[in-house]
Amino acid sequence: MTPTEYATAIGSEVRAELARQRKTQADLAAALSLTPATIGRRLDGTSPFNVVELAKTANWLGVPVANLRPATPAVSA
């Protein structure tokens, strides 16, 4: 998985969790003190979440950070 694909996958996981909790991108932007446009770039993978943002997002959503990371595909030998 490339860094861009990974950033996109994290954004998808965060977006899915937001939907499950019926929270909006604007809610997340306010919680992280970022603009809605910045959150949009994080969620679509254009600009990846940094470690602090991802930790704060997980805390705000009440889930472990691991829940916001994509599943690692099995590697065959």
Amino acid at 75: V
Residue 70 lies in a domain: no
Number of domains in the chain: 1
Instruction: Assess contact for 25 and 60: CB atoms under 8 A.
Output: no
Tokens of 71: 């599943």
Tokens of 45: 């993978």
Residue 69 lies in a domain: no
- Residue 25: give its domain's CATH number: 1.10.260.40
Report the C-alpha gap between 45 and 51 in whole angstroms: 14
pTM (two decimals): 0.88
Residue 44 lies in a domain: yes
pLDDT in tens, the chain (77 residues): 889 999 999 999 999 999 999 999 999 999 999 999 999 999 999 999 999 999 999 999 999 999 999 876 645 55
- Which candidate, 8, 22, 21, places its Cα nearest to that of 62? 21
